[in-house]
Structure 1
Amino acid sequence: MFLNELNKKEANAFINLVEALANVDNVFAKNEKDLIDDYIQELELDEKNIKKIDFETSVKEFEKAEEKIKNIIYFELVGLALCDGEYDEKEIQFLKGLAARFNISKNKQYEFINYFKTVKEIYDNTVVDYEGKIELLKKSAMELI
């Protein structure tokens, strides 16, 4: 949703973090793979040109970034962790560790989680007016970031 704000180096580091999170629970669900493909497309990256970097290098790329970029990265990773319907303990620990390194408060972490719970609830219970709901969710997400 906000990934267009990343530069190419940050985009590459983000994809590496996404893959690390997707694999942390040893379950690489199809919807996680689909979401990674969507990220690659949104970032306008060529999959064969994505440079593999280790977790620590990826994190360090964002530790020096501005707060908004850190929030975007964390926000997107929370969405990935919740997309398979499971919020595994390993994913929780992964995200808590990143939050600490990115200086993201517990309150902000809960706001991001609650946002995605709201999205799921709206998606599961809405049969009409998707466009209006999507715009409302985008506005809400922008306020969080």
Structure 2
Amino acid sequence: MQPLPPQEFSAWTARRLDGLELDYLFLDASMFKMHPGARAEPVLAGWGITTTGAPVFLALAAGGSESTDAWADFLDELTGRGLRVASDGAAELLAAVEATLPRSLRQRCLIHRSRNVLAKVPTQAQTEIRDAYWAVLDRASRGWRGM
């Protein structure tokens, strides 16, 4: 995949988002080394699923940290471009979402939650616990409501 020329990337990052109707907004960051020998820094990302079920990649931004201020700036930029609107439960991200999108519904990322649970389980039990975790969620998604 070829990178976008700078002028196309600038146009993409400035495009209006008010025409989008999202059912889901996903926000996360990944750590990247921007320069050889430098410490890894977060790249904040936003993407969503529209009301018609189409995925849409919304934004990328380099951040000095995953702080509440960094996430708030990221969300302010998105709402400034017209975005109307689930986060993974990180305290800094939740604080930014509360400040920027106070009426949004939130759900913790199930993969992050699974990893957090498995980190507290002995290695020999992780496969069994992981499989049971996903089985419960699969049953719940099919309307299962009891023991």
Report the TM-score, using the length of structure 2 for normalisation: 0.33
Highest relative contact order (Cα 8 Å, sep 6+), 1 or 2? 1
In proportion to residue count, which structure has more helix?
Answer: 1
In proportion to residue count, which structure has more strand?
Answer: 2
Report the TM-score, using the length of structure 1 for normalisation: 0.33
